Structure 1
Amino acid sequence: MRERSTAASSIPMEPPWPPLAMTGSSLWDIRKKGAVHTFQNTYQVLAVTFNDTSDQILSGGIDNDIKVWDLRQNKLVYSMHGHGDSLTGLSLSSEGSYLLSNSMDNTVRIWDVRPFAPKERCVKIFQGNIHNFEKNLLRCSWSADGSKIAAGSADRFVYVWDTTSRRILYKLPGHAGSVNEVAFHPEEPIVLSGASDKRLYMGEIQ
């Protein structure tokens, strides 16, 4: 979905950054309460996140690719290919080196987004969670120490994997609908999940 920016030059694209928010293809200055730049995508964008220094935006959508945009140059820097269907969730690791992605191809992947990473940036693939005909935007999340990842699933379970072994550690039940959002507590061994059943659950893990 293409959009047109009417204020692309109203924000200085160099640090220190003003308070910014990203929605789809548009970058917003919270102080001005308006869009300050639009990045042109041929296809709809379903998930976005900033990098750790907030000078890049990472986006994913229905073209199956992850795109990295440079705020200084206002252009696409590189793309990461590998997923076979639409991207529904993106999450950056706490130290900013790795990106987690959830896709309708029923895989969750970890990508190396460091500046001088090898050309093949996909470093790990996880399986177990599923998407279905509902095509909900299922999100994903890192634990604070990076040892675990979690993702929503259409089969009503919360999936938690060990990052190193790729083994499913937990398949948490309880929801009566597709699990759309997951988040780790920043300090306690707790996973929060939200689902289409209009409920929030907290699950304790080891």
Structure 2
Amino acid sequence: MSYGMSRLEDEYYEPEGQDTDGSSSVQVNDEFSKLHNDIFHMTRMRSGLSESIYKSMGTNRGIISTAKLLSGREVDCSGKGKFSSGDRAFVLGRYVPMNGPKILDRMDSRAYVSQFSADGTLFVAGFQGSHIRIYDVDRGWIIHKDIHARSLRWTISDVSLSPDQRYLVYSSLAPIIHIVNVGNAARESYANVIDIHDGLDFSQHEDVQYAFGIFSVKFSSDGRELVAGSIDESIYVYDLHANKLTLRLPAHTSDVNTVAFADESGHLIYSGSDDTLCKPLRTIHQNN
């Protein structure tokens, strides 16, 4: 897997007047070696068995049967009383669904985007006809919230729930992302009629020269920031507490179709683009 560098990182690692003794190249290689290790360890933590499981089973990275893992959990071999999220991902990764598919709901326009909440209790679907529906998975997939979107351009291109599941943001092919409170009791949410759907302007950056659309948006793990991928080949970061755009990364050479914060720090972003590249990008703020 190859990694590309954003223009911002290019400028950071290639200062004017650098000498040609190879020290700059070593610095870049060291940085990307560290980045590769960070990604490896994060992936392993989130999709592999924890160290406590291996220790309690008395094995060194060998194959452990699912039955043995479940038996160990019941007698609390790990000392934690339950599987970690990585343990659960490891066990579930051995199986594929056996039942379905079945139709749960039907709308009069195309479903364009869908995703589960982080804990799997809610499912969000965005439709081309200005609708977003949130389904309660634990209660038989009943409609938890029916949202009528505001200022839609062509379709709902992405949705994201905040970590506490109180807020939802949605994007379309416009530079404005809307945020709505979905934590209240009302099932219906009409933009600026029943609920206020605040607009967050992602075209505030001084380098933006023309209107663009947003393909992807995600909350940070603490709910304080949004990251967005756009049609202008860039990645944007928006500070919700400060209510302003804080970063623009011209990271690709074509549309950025998907983005996400990689970890809790907010300093590493994953992105995927029509230029056929998936990139891990470190965000470099001026105060860092």
TM-score range normalised by the length of the shorter chain: 0.7 to 0.9
Distance between the aligned counterparts of 1:84 and 1:103, measured in 2? 6
Please identify which structure carries the higher helix content.
Answer: 2
Distance 1:54 1:123, change over 3 A: farther
Answer yes or no: is 1:127 the counterpart of 2:127: no
Alignment partner, residue 164 of structure 1: 241
Please state how far the C-alpha of 1:89 moved relative to its aligned partner.
0.6
- 1:27-53 CA deviation, whole Å, 9 max, x = no partner? xxx532521442111100111233466
- 1:49-69 CA deviation, whole Å, 9 max, x = no partner? 334664543221211222233
Of 180, 184, 202 in structure 2, the residue corresponding to residue 111 of structure 1 is 180
- 1:121-162 CA deviation, whole Å, 9 max, x = no partner? 52453332722xxxxx81211111111101110100001111
User: Could you tell me whether the CA contact under 8 Å between 2:220 and 2:264 is conserved in 1?
Assistant: no
Distance between the aligned counterparts of 1:106 and 1:123, measured in 2? 13
**Structure exhibiting the larger radius of gyration computed from Cα positions:** 2
Q: What aligned pairs does 1:3-82 form with structure 2 within 5 A after superposition?
A: 31-51=97-117, 54-71=120-137, 72=139, 74-81=141-148, 82=150
Unpaired runs of 5+ in structure 2?
A: 1-87, 89-95, 204-210
Aligned length: 174
Aligned partner of 1:59: which letter?
A: A
Report percent identity of matched pairs. 22
**Worse overlay, 53-62 or 84-93:** 53-62
Alignment partner, residue 190 of structure 1: 268
- TM value normalised by structure 2: 0.53
Distance between the aligned counterparts of 2:141 and 2:222, measured in 1? 32
Unpaired runs of 5+ in structure 1?
A: 1-18, 20-29, 132-136
Please identify which structure carries the higher strand content.
Answer: 1
User: Could you tell me whether the CA contact under 8 Å between 2:145 and 2:182 is conserved in 1?
Assistant: no
User: Could you tell me whether the CA contact under 8 Å between 1:142 and 1:149 is conserved in 2?
Assistant: yes
Distance between the aligned counterparts of 1:48 and 1:166, measured in 2? 27
Aligned partner of 2:201: which letter?
A: F
Please state how far the C-alpha of 1:174 moved relative to its aligned partner.
2.7
User: Could you tell me whether the CA contact under 8 Å between 2:124 and 2:134 is conserved in 1?
Assistant: yes
Distance between the aligned counterparts of 1:93 and 1:77, measured in 2? 16
Aligned partner of 1:98: which letter?
A: Y
Distance 1:187 1:74, change over 3 A: closer
Note the aligned Cα RMSD (angstroms).
2.7
Alignment partner, residue 92 of structure 1: 161
Answer yes or no: is 1:202 the counterpart of 2:202: no
Aligned residue for 1:138, secondary structure, equals strand
Alignment partner, residue 178 of structure 1: 255
- 1:12-35 CA deviation, whole Å, 9 max, x = no partner? xxxxxxx9xxxxxxxxxx532521
Alignment partner, residue 151 of structure 2: 83
User: Could you tell me whether the CA contact under 8 Å between 1:172 and 1:203 is conserved in 2?
Assistant: no
Distance between the aligned counterparts of 1:73 and 1:130, measured in 2? 39
